[in-house]
Structure 1
């Protein structure tokens, strides 16, 4: 049962929910698409909006320039004793295409009734504007009641997460002393299911590649040259088709070297919390599991590496028909990696796999679009247990230790550069359509997310008081 200190802040969060929601809608209206140079000014506007909100909490906040989009950094000038916390999020969003599939303009957010809940719709509502605001609004509620934050809390928000974070590592290295803390909270992950909160401790890494094949010196008439000259699109499809074996496993020799089986205690935990595999697939219009035969959907999403073709192009792609034999074809492919796999090594193996299958008169070129190693967070860390307890208290269901199929390279950078472990708490649901048209964030996720962080702040307050008592005790004095 939360003490009165926490209860007062929870009551404030409930009272202020309407204003919190209005702030989220204002934030989502800013089209901060980091991959599109036409929105460079919008990205700065989003950064300035965030800096202003943090300043309204009495924090020393600043928009810090980088070679790309700016960072937002804020610190509490009060310097409260206790745990030192950094909170991370990103204000940039994905592109909105295909625009015609949106029910309404993506940067004109709406509140939509959805049975027993409501949805906040718009690009970035879930990833990551709604998520990061849950923590800011929790701090607002706490400070409105108690006049100060319960611990030494700093903020770091970037504007390039959706475009590979090219400015992030140099920024962390240049500001190592300023940003190093005891722990970093990251709110860019998912719930276990619609009603069960989770802390993510397993993150897959990634390797994004584009391969381009060239055959003839120009596109040719399919009737006059078909069968006689290699078709680049057909060749590309043949090679990509060989990347999976009949059992669904990835067929690149050496690809699974270093991959370890799922730890028994994690496997037991996942089995103890219900997961509706059929329902998970049905939500996206699927019914037959893909990937490696004999492995559950959950294991394949969180604990096994994967390969996907994200886009393929070549030949005539316009309206109608053109009898053409394509001379050039390309594909963008994604590998998701697990602990024990080296993305640089796998890049070499993939490129070797492709080039070994080329006819003598064909050529291949490659481009890389980022890579990161997988990350595993120790589940017995000092901040994990208290966070699990607070989530369980708020949601009324046992919080889970989960994995995620996505990649959050920043978590590895925090550990390598700043020496900090991360606590990844998110309130997104699997049907939030992140990166897709009609992205949404459930109002219950936003509300309970704010309240969850209020409870976490309460635990930080307890830690701070405990540290103060130890320092003032005679034993400590001696």
Structure 2
């Protein structure tokens, strides 16, 4: 199982033919925004316990974080894993993976390319898609983005940190593809470095919570 999946990655790039074919390059405006994004390479590496990164230049690292698709192995389950020793040969194995896509990749196409590449390695197991979401990125020059930035400036009294997109998964394509809305925004920032996003003890500071409500109201007013 591990060998089959390892064949799809060479340590630097995903080895699925056609995987990068439709990746939309970052615009010069988006690159400029990322050049101002507060990012400390050493602090980033220490926080994740990393000894090295694929890229050395700070700008290359930030552009990769926000502009490149990824392939992650989330977990592998097989064999006897409880206390004590047991000399058994596992009868089955399961692995969960995810691909974080970027514009203009098509999740259905990527799944097909992945399945074909995996079969080419000789893999004969079942492959089941768990969720297919189209990537979305709203232009920083759009009216929606300008309203978000200006309303944040009014509420917090300072220039906001702008992210060209979030490295997460949300069903924003329901608006941009299904409803034909050209601009979409995922969320207003409410957490901080102590929030522990997605952790069992995830939390939000009460003051940040109410400021985010104020920001949401200011954002809607800015749009009207």
Asked if these proteins are the same fold (TM beyond 0.5), I'd say yes
Paired with 1:393 and 1:237, the residues of 2 have a C-alpha distance of: 52
Summarize the alignment of residues 40-439 of structure 1 with structure 2, pairs less than 5 Å apart.
236-246=1-11, 248-283=12-47, 285-288=48-51, 290=53, 292-294=54-56, 296-358=60-122, 363-402=124-163, 403-409=165-171, 411-420=172-181, 421-424=183-186, 425-429=188-192, 431-439=194-202
TM-score for both structures, normalised by structure 1: 0.43
Native 8 Å contact 1:242 1:251 kept in 2: yes
Paired with 2:109 and 2:216, the residues of 1 have a C-alpha distance of: 40
1:440 and 2:191 matched: no
Paired with 2:112 and 2:178, the residues of 1 have a C-alpha distance of: 26
1:450 and 2:191 matched: no
Q: Deviations over 1:188-223 (max 9, x none)?
A: xxxxxxxxxxxxxxxxxxxxxxxxxxxxxxxxxxxx
* Residues 254/454 of structure 1: CA separation in 2 closer, same or farther (3 Å cut): closer
Native 8 Å contact 2:144 2:185 kept in 1: yes
Paired with 1:386 and 1:340, the residues of 2 have a C-alpha distance of: 25
> Which one has more relative contact order, counting CA pairs under 8 Å at least 6 apart?
1
Paired with 1:372 and 1:433, the residues of 2 have a C-alpha distance of: 24
Native 8 Å contact 1:289 1:297 kept in 2: no
How far has the Cα of 1:418 moved from its partner?
Answer: 2.7
Native 8 Å contact 1:278 1:287 kept in 2: no
Structure 1 runs, 4 residues or longer, greater than 4 Å off: none
Q: Per the alignment, in what secondary structure is the counterpart of residue 17 of structure 2?
A: coil
Paired with 1:419 and 1:354, the residues of 2 have a C-alpha distance of: 34
Q: Per the alignment, in what secondary structure is the counterpart of residue 25 of structure 2?
A: coil
Q: Deviations over 1:436-475 (max 9, x none)?
A: 2211112342132123224334435xx3xxxxxxxxxxxx
Paired with 2:185 and 2:124, the residues of 1 have a C-alpha distance of: 46
CA RMSD between the two structures: 2.3
How far has the Cα of 1:287 moved from its partner?
Answer: 3.4
Equivalent residue, structure 2, for 1:222: none
Compare the two structures and name the one with the higher strand fraction: 1
Summarize the alignment of residues 5-16 of structure 1 with structure 2, pairs less than 5 Å apart.
none
Q: Deviations over 1:6-64 (max 9, x none)?
A: xxxxxxxxxxxxxxxxxxxxxxxxxxxxxxxxxxxxxxxxxxxxxxxxxxxxxxxxxxx
* Residues 327/238 of structure 1: CA separation in 2 closer, same or farther (3 Å cut): same
* Residues 333/302 of structure 1: CA separation in 2 closer, same or farther (3 Å cut): same
TM-score for both structures, normalised by structure 2: 0.86
Structure 2: 5+ residue stretches without partners: none
